[in-house]
Amino acid sequence: MMVEPDEASLTGALEDYIETVYELVRDHKVARVRDIARARKVRSASVTPAMRRLADLGLVRYVQREYIDLTPEGERFARRVYARHQILVRFLQHVLGMPEGAAVQDACAMEHSLSPVAMDHLVRFFEFLGYCPEGSSFLERFHACPMIRNEDGRCTADCPARRDAPAGPEDWAVRLDSVSPECRVRIVQVEASGALRDRILDMGILPDVHGAVLRGGPGSDRFTLRVQGFDIELSPEEANAVLIVPVEEGS
């Protein structure tokens, strides 16, 4: 008995399988269980139940020991998954500058939860890059920025955009370990790399997040920052890596 397919019917694993079938049919005109298993790096015994489920949903034509093909509905689903994958790879690799392998791997994990609204906004972003006269220069400045290239992590005086722009809050940002308790702050940048940066970001210390210093100050050995309702303990190294702007109450 065929089940009417919908978004909830397709798990992430099934979406991966239907995307693989789509790519095999596109590239080789046919898809077989062993080809799918090889492409997905799984055993053939794992592919068969997935194909049966996709057949029950009306997305593939599957008879044991025969070729597998997409139904018109299956091709529609597969194209949508594939399109999400491609736009995410483009964003991660060509905009954020991630290595190709990492971009492909992360896109595979993200594509299953990308909503149509998020897909539309990503496409609009690429439309902006392609059609706006400032689009390409915007991306070039982003890729050339030392903060993005993970060099010294600071804006430099020779940056054309910084040199010609009026002074902003970032021009008087200070380090978290330099402010006294009871100071309210806005986080501007995490000036760190590697494991230190990952650790700070995982705490929820992110750009434009507001917080309050509960304990710390120059010379302190521990710092406490209240962010989004949680009290976060930081070491001197961590506190020194967080650039903030003091803010007034209510701002």
Q: What percent of the chain has pLDDT over 90?
A: 49
Please give the C-alpha separations between residue 20 and each of 15, 34, 175, 183, in angstroms, as whole numbers.
9, 12, 49, 54
We report the CATH number of the domain holding residue 227 as 2.30.30.90
Say whether both 17 and 110 belong to one domain.
yes
Mean predicted confidence (pLDDT) in 130-138:
84
Any domain includes 79 = yes
Any domain includes 192 = yes
Say whether both 1 and 110 belong to one domain.
yes
H/E stretch holding 130 reads helix 116-131
Give residue 229's domain range: 169-246
Q: Which pLDDT band holds residue 164 (cuts at 50, 70, 90)?
A: low
Say whether both 11 and 100 belong to one domain.
yes
Number of domains in the chain: 2
- Higher per-residue confidence, 171 vs 89: 89
Mean predicted confidence (pLDDT) in 100-126:
91
Q: For tokens 């995982």, what's the residue?
A: 202
Any domain includes 151 = no
The secondary structure of 28-66 as a DSSP string is HS-B-HHHHHHHHTS-HHHHHHHHHHHHHTTSEE--TTS
Say whether both 2 and 107 belong to one domain.
yes
Q: Is the pLDDT of residue 232 over 50?
A: yes
**Averaged pLDDT score across all residues of the chain:** 85
Any domain includes 251 = no
